[in-house]
Structure 1
């Protein structure tokens, strides 16, 4: 094995953003090395609910935001990839639900009127009833309204496994990362003593970007963390539910997705407003109690007596924004050979890759022939959080 490796693009961080970018680059003929210090998808990716947003939840005020504009095309691009006809071939990735739903439990007519007036969702929302309702809402006691959104929910573990297949021999497990300079210019990284020289270095390590930038002696861009306190529930009485529950405010009261556990049971993964400010301040037992109360109020026909519970604290890593607001798009900062970015949401991984490819094109970086890598230590796939917390 040579002491130094040359590649077109060296990527650090093998979550969905890094893996998607890696696959896009390889499909266009670029040579790549993708470095991961722990497990594939083991950071923010496997803590995602798997929703491929189309902007609907950002339009709950009835106002069209930058986020709802930017993200509107993402479901189409993901669907094409899942069918094998898109920018990547994601055939074999499990689709958990063909749609995400908006569920109004009461008489929130004013909220719904402004919501459906939004251009962000016009023509992409249909009311569903009866047998078309999500299984968890098919009960005579359910009195609310449900709308089908033109979004989808994917199984993130199977997505990561497929993207790892598309990575071929480009994956590298590496713990110790140091800058590699030629004079004052960054020309690559030293990974566990192995020098990797690259035309461009991309940091896509989520929360890990902050430490990587510090290691490289780079002060910008700065990062923010938006904390969440999610709740997981597993039990034999839980049925599939993929929905935002409308509250009276601009954010969903609850957002519930359902995931298959290793033992065959369903796991509800609960976020939304209940997981934000007040939820973050609660201790785990109090957060579980709050979510149980909400579910008992909204879905009283669901027997929760045999359900196992756990909580998960998540820090969404993003470029720093005024007032900790959510960025509207994927983000990329370019400084010489160094590119640093965050997709900001799972759904925006294609947008993140677009930005890197546009920067490479702008700088006239083209694919160069490189020998295949062999015998490299390869990072493992991460275990889904529900199987870690609710074995």
Structure 2
């Protein structure tokens, strides 16, 4: 006979726990502390749920901290000259995040650092007239503005520039500061749980239970709902429970990092022949006082087929071709592999929406991917809707003392602060 978590809690309190074992009963247990998991615990706490987040390494490690920090409204998905499902799905997201940054949104991000309040998109002289015409159409009004030559940033007030420059409503955030703010909002509830200390159990009724081993005891975590927000780690977590669904796909990148002695702050996409930008540049401050250009777009997507030195050579040629006036003689270079995790789609296409779905054979488990940093708020909203649909309401105040032996998870360092840079020969 299946026993509900509440009944288990009552029985445990009545009979006492075996020596060396402690139990905690939560409304929600979140596994994975990237932007998605942290945003979710912020929303759940505000809604009154008793919840905790467990992270295996550091908050934001792997995918989140490797993000370029762009909160965009989808214009970069319109490079075929038309609005798409992806572009429309996130059209309102810059305004949503802006509300949070000033303290009037669904999550308080006051104090997180904004690197730029806009993003540029530029074309070379060979860009198709179809794109230029589309950017001037009513469909993009209020989302794209052409920049007059006198208003261009210094980087594009050069005689050698022959293309067009557009300004987007997108913003760029310093992701580590966002992670830090989200973690501070949930202070005391974001626990470090190394993979080797965790063991999953699923009973014959499909109810999941998390066992945590410490030096002195075993902690059993009961939850009305476990939610996996571990990015590419979701697949392994499901495997530990004997599950294969929801299925995952990965989209690898090899990003290039270029470190400058003097700041060249710029945020923009270069239009190319593909549906993705030819090159995306974001600028980030380093702990040593220098600045890094973080290069994405088609360069990074195609870079997975190249070794690091070949990709750096390609990036150097691209920058010299697109910005021949830029002095790269003293720049230092490095690369970073990033594996973006997403819910599996037919033909492995890029998903348009945030995703959360119940595991088919686990009664109290759901699996989630935001699919894009920008859509983390949408994922949290979808999760609350799922909980409401399942009738999972906030319960009585939990006793978190069972988790007191677990350290709090630190925030991951930026990849440009841990990478090894070198000059090109």
TM-score (norm 1): 0.95
Q: 1:227-376 counterparts in 2 under 5 A? A: 227-277=252-302, 279-335=303-359, 336-371=363-398, 373-374=400-401, 375=404, 376=406
Would the alpha carbon gap of residues 131 and 370 (structure 1) be closer, same or farther in structure 2, given more than 3 Å must change?
farther
Aligned partners of 2:188 and 2:42: how far apart in 1? 11
Q: CA deviation at 1:87?
A: 0.5
Q: 1:73-88 counterparts in 2 under 5 A? A: 73-88=92-107
Aligned partners of 1:6 and 1:131: how far apart in 2? 62
Q: Secondary structure at the match of 1:20?
A: helix
Tell whether the 8 Å contact from 1:105 to 1:143 is kept in structure 2 after alignment.
yes
Q: Secondary structure at the match of 1:126?
A: strand
TM-score (norm 2): 0.88
The equivalent residue for 1:385 is 415
Q: Structure 1 residues 294-303 or 106-115, which shifts more?
A: 106-115
Q: Residues 135-154 of structure 1, C-alpha deviation per residue, up to 9 Å, x if partnerless?
A: 43343433322111111110
Tell whether the 8 Å contact from 2:200 to 2:240 is kept in structure 1 after alignment.
yes
Would the alpha carbon gap of residues 366 and 239 (structure 1) be closer, same or farther in structure 2, given more than 3 Å must change?
same
Tell whether the 8 Å contact from 2:353 to 2:370 is kept in structure 1 after alignment.
yes
Q: Structure 1 residues 107-116 or 321-330, which shifts more?
A: 107-116
Q: CA deviation at 1:118?
A: 6.8
Q: CA deviation at 1:195?
A: 0.7
Q: CA deviation at 1:298?
A: 0.9
Q: Secondary structure at the match of 1:165?
A: helix
Match of 1:27 among 42, 46, 65: 46
Pairs aligned (count): 390
Instruction: Determine whether 1:62 maps to 2:86.
Output: no
Q: Secondary structure at the match of 2:233?
A: helix
Instruction: Determine whether 1:211 maps to 2:241.
Output: no
Q: Residues 74-129 of structure 1, C-alpha deviation per residue, up to 9 Å, x if partnerless?
A: 11110100111100110000000001111112142424235426776333111123
Would the alpha carbon gap of residues 116 and 190 (structure 1) be closer, same or farther in structure 2, given more than 3 Å must change?
same
Match of 1:122 among 137, 141, 144: 141
Q: Residues 324-377 of structure 1, C-alpha deviation per residue, up to 9 Å, x if partnerless?
A: 211011111113311001101100101111111100011121111223535331
The equivalent residue for 1:91 is 110
Would the alpha carbon gap of residues 110 and 92 (structure 1) be closer, same or farther in structure 2, given more than 3 Å must change?
same
Q: Secondary structure at the match of 1:45?
A: coil
Pairwise CA RMSD: 1.8
The equivalent residue for 1:223 is 248
Segments of 5+ residues of structure 1 without an aligned counterpart are none
Q: 1:190-209 counterparts in 2 under 5 A? A: 190-192=211-213, 193-209=218-234
Q: Residues 248-290 of structure 1, C-alpha deviation per residue, up to 9 Å, x if partnerless?
A: 232211000000110111100001011113x211110000000
Q: CA deviation at 1:44?
A: 0.1
Segments of 5+ residues of structure 2 without an aligned counterpart are 1-19
Q: Residues 30-53 of structure 1, C-alpha deviation per residue, up to 9 Å, x if partnerless?
A: 111100010110120011000012
Would the alpha carbon gap of residues 183 and 322 (structure 1) be closer, same or farther in structure 2, given more than 3 Å must change?
closer
- Greater C-alpha Rg: 2
Q: Secondary structure at the match of 2:222?
A: strand
